[in-house]
Amino acid sequence: MIDEERLDKHFLYYALNSEAYRAQVRGSATGATVRHTAPERIYRCRIKLPSPADQRAIGQTPKSYDDLIANNRRRIELLEQATRLLFKEWFVRLRYPGHEHDKIAGVVPTGWRSSTVEAVCRDFIDGDWLETKDQGGDAFRILQISNIGENSFVETGNFRYITDETFRRLNCTEVAPGDTLISRMPEPIGRAWMVTPQPWRMVTAVDVTIARPDPDQVEPFYFLHHLNSSIHLARCATRATGATRPRIAKRVMGALPIMVSQRLADGLRRLCLCKQ
């Protein structure tokens, strides 16, 4: 239990997450394969302890930022949920604005056409085969499968890089903001993220497909939301192979269907409430 008259819990939380404290914990760890420490070693770690009043002032400053971040994340989640519902209403149930006036030609309304995921892209290529021996340096960060969320970048803290020389030698593909990265492995298989600006140059792993939708054929945000839709992810899951590490082949994923309506996709872009 914390004696709150002597120790502010918010100050303690941020102190225990500080680099100075974590360095002490790392220094106390033992083990060749899996490093670990013990409670008594953690108890011996030291932190600077100002007066209770100063602790409260120090603890409230980062907490106010964390609270703001948490509120913004909740807002983003609600906005993304609204986008998914809008996508489903317009492009799955086909209850888009003015749908009651459109005729059905075969299985799609007038002005729509059926295509495939790969066919609506200028580029649809896999990332690079980067073995452990190829890694090192700091020129290009390797975006891994675990970094790809459903239209989000997931920071795992597992930083891996390659050098400029390796990039040129292996003829790697540089990932740029606006590219869509699609994970061919779970979970879920087929999830996609539209790349946003990052503080590093980027390449990606071989089980991540780099898709660059052709704006003359499909609106990129519509393409992104189609990839993350439940119907497309279910198609990817049923076509994955491999018992231990299931994955979907790029060729198979690229052949999956997508219905295209440029007029309605442009409308979705204007109304789209996803993260940029």
CATH of the domain at 227: 3.90.220.20
CA atoms of 43 and 25, how far apart (whole Å)? 10
Which tokens hold the place of 116?
């495939």
In a domain, 56, yes or no: no
Give the span between the Cα atoms of 70 and 76, in whole angstroms.
10
pLDDT digits (tens, 9 = 90+) for 162-195: 999 999 999 999 999 999 999 999 989 999 999 9
For residue 189, tell me if it sits in a domain. Answer: yes
pLDDT digits (tens, 9 = 90+) for 37-62: 888 888 888 888 899 899 999 989 98
- The whole-number pLDDT of residue 29 equals 85
Domain count, the chain: 2
* All residues at 6 or more sequence positions from 80 whose CB lies less than 8 Å from its CB, including other chains: 151, 273, 274, 275
Largest CA distance in the chain: 75
Instruction: Tell me if 60 is assigned to some domain.
Output: no
Q: What angle do CA 127, 166, 212 make, to 5 degrees?
A: 25
Same domain for 26 and 146, yes or no, is no
For the ranges 24-38, 87-101, 234-248, the maximum mean pLDDT occurs at 234-248
Task: For residues 125 and 184, state if they share a domain.
Answer: yes
Q: Please indicate, yes or no, whether residues 13 and 109 belong to a single structural domain of this protein.
A: no
57 part of a folded domain:
no
Closest CA to 234 of 181, 191, 182: 191
Whole-number average pLDDT of the chain: 86
Q: Are residues 235 and 147 in the same domain?
A: yes
Residues 13 and 92 grouped into a single domain? no
Q: Residue 37 carries which DSSP code?
A: -
Higher pLDDT, 109 or 271: 109
| pLDDT higher than threshold 80 for residue 80 | no
pLDDT recorded at residue 274: 46
Q: List the domain range (segments joined by +) for residue 4.
A: 1-49
Question: Which CA distances in Å does 232 have to 77, 119, 153?
Answer: 20, 16, 20
Cα–Cα distance, 118 to 124 (Å, whole number): 6
87 and 171 both lie in a single domain: yes
Last residue of a domain, one of 49, 67, 89: 49
User: Is the same domain home to 45 and 81?
Assistant: no
Mean pLDDT of the region 230-251? 93
* Judgement on whether residues 82 and 219 belong to the same structural domain of the protein: yes
Domain membership flag for residue 71: no
SS3 18: coil
246 within a domain of the structure (yes/no): yes
Q: Are residues 17 and 131 in the same domain?
A: no
pTM to 2 decimals?
0.68
Look at residue 67 and tell me if it is in a domain.
Answer: no
35 and 83 fall within a common domain = no
Integer Cα distance of 77 and 83 in angstroms: 10
Confidence of residue 266 (pLDDT cuts 50, 70, 90): low
Is 28 part of any domain? yes
6 lies in the same domain as 86:
no
